[in-house]
Amino acid sequence: MKTKSYNIYLQRTAAVLVLVAAIACSSGSEGEETPVPDAQAPTKPTGLVAEEVTQNSLYLYWEPATDNVKVKNYSLYLNNQFLVGSGKTSYALSGLEPGKMYTFQIQANDAAGNSSELSEPLMVSTLDKLEAELQYDSGNIETYLRGFVDNVPGFLGSNYKVPTENDLKQWELIIDAILDDNIQEAVEQAVYANYQIVEFTDTFSSPNQVFYVLKEFSIRTNYWGTFVFSKTPKRENLVLAAPHVLHDQNTGYQAAYIFRQNVPKALFVSGAHRCNREEPAPCSGTTSACSTNSQAYRISDVPHSVNSMFQKTTEMMYDALPNSVFVQLHGFDKEASDPSLIISNGTNKTPQIDYVAMLRDALLQEDNSLTFKIPHIDVNWTRYAAFDNTQGRYINGSPNACSVDATNTTGRFVHIEQERAKLRANETGWAKVSNALEKVF
């Protein structure tokens, strides 16, 4: 009896073990496949091009490669040697030698370690080295500056180059040297931005006045503008600017006239029409200047972009010269209900030293028929109030000049919107503004 029971126990135990083994085998194999290693390489990158080539830098762009899983990154080869990896389909190179030929290739890589064939080679030559020599010229500074205004490219030409981070750093070296009165150093640094410095003597003034003109070489690639610095300014604290020399008709000529009459510390003249590029600037604000409806400012609209040489030079001079005042000349199409001038400090706040009010009073002495709107006095007036002017925002202490209106004012920014007939049409009108600035500064 015991033997029979024991046999039954063994049979049941064996059955359970068989069942467990079957379940284990079934659960371990059902729906699973042995992983197959990824041995497929990405496709060969194509479309490799170089843009924004300078004496010592360039940008490389290429079309994305494809992979059966995913492209992880790219390897950049320079003259058949690995140089650097990139997670994007572009790369900026600097530190290159002027006038030298380089060969570039791109390789795509995936996460499994597979690499594509190298792309077709791209041969690129950097620009020849420009001579870093101080240039000399003489004559009438107003006539000389009008020549730059006449050569500014117009609407939708796409001439204006958006400065890169390297461009802005290079520009800092130039302006630092000028502000330190180290003109030779400025000359040597300027060539790397395709700029040169001309020591211009105005032989029509008595005594003769000397200016340092930071201008692009005759073969222009950047169109960032022309920047003029007085060697012996009569108005040490005045910095004059004409940001819209074409769109705001005659403001370029007016600026040249006022500059010669007053000899301020510096003058900035824009290098391209404000609508020269189609791409929008990243900064806040809209305008109908370039279209029939209100749109974002263009990237070539230098008073509305922090990524410009206008902005960089303004910031550096503002920080270096604690008493400097920046006056921008603008123009608008006057409607019947509009005033002759809209003069703003870039906010609706009243500064401790109110240059705007002083300028209004000085202009009334020149022409008592002029009418005004001043946003920090006429607080409900916002048209052409320059609250979104990025240079004004910076000067007035905005925490983000690109996107945040200033909530306080230093009073050191003056934005002058002028009607054409009484102020911009000819020298008679220019003289009114020039004389008023002379009285205030």
CA-CA distance, 372 to 416, in Å (whole number)? 10
3-class SS of residue 437: helix
375: Cα within 13 Å, side-chain hemisphere: 21
Where are the chain's structural domains? Answer: 49-125, 135-440
Strand partners, 343: 416
Residue 6 host element (H or E): helix 2-29
| Fold of the domain built from segment(s) 49-125 | Immunoglobulin-like (2.60.40)
Write down the CATH number for the domain with range 135-440.
Answer: 3.40.630
DSSP per position, 76-94: EEETTEEEEEESSSEEEEE
pLDDT digits (tens, 9 = 90+) for 211-268: 999 999 998 999 999 999 999 999 999 999 999 999 999 999 999 999 999 999 999 9
Q: What is the pTM of this model?
A: 0.78
pLDDT digits (tens, 9 = 90+) for 287-318: 999 999 999 999 999 999 999 999 999 999 99
pLDDT, tens digit only, all 441 positions of the chain: 444 444 444 455 444 444 444 444 444 455 567 778 899 999 999 999 999 888 888 999 999 999 999 999 999 999 999 999 999 999 999 899 999 999 999 999 999 999 999 999 999 999 888 889 999 999 999 999 999 999 999 998 899 999 999 999 999 999 999 999 999 999 999 999 999 999 999 999 999 999 999 999 998 999 999 999 999 999 999 999 999 999 999 999 999 999 999 999 999 999 999 999 999 999 999 999 999 999 999 999 999 999 999 999 999 999 999 999 999 999 999 999 999 999 999 999 999 999 999 999 999 999 999 999 999 999 999 999 999 999 999 999 999 999 999 999 999 999 999 999 999 999 999 999 999 999 999
Phi (first) and psi of residue 415, to 5 degrees: -110, 115
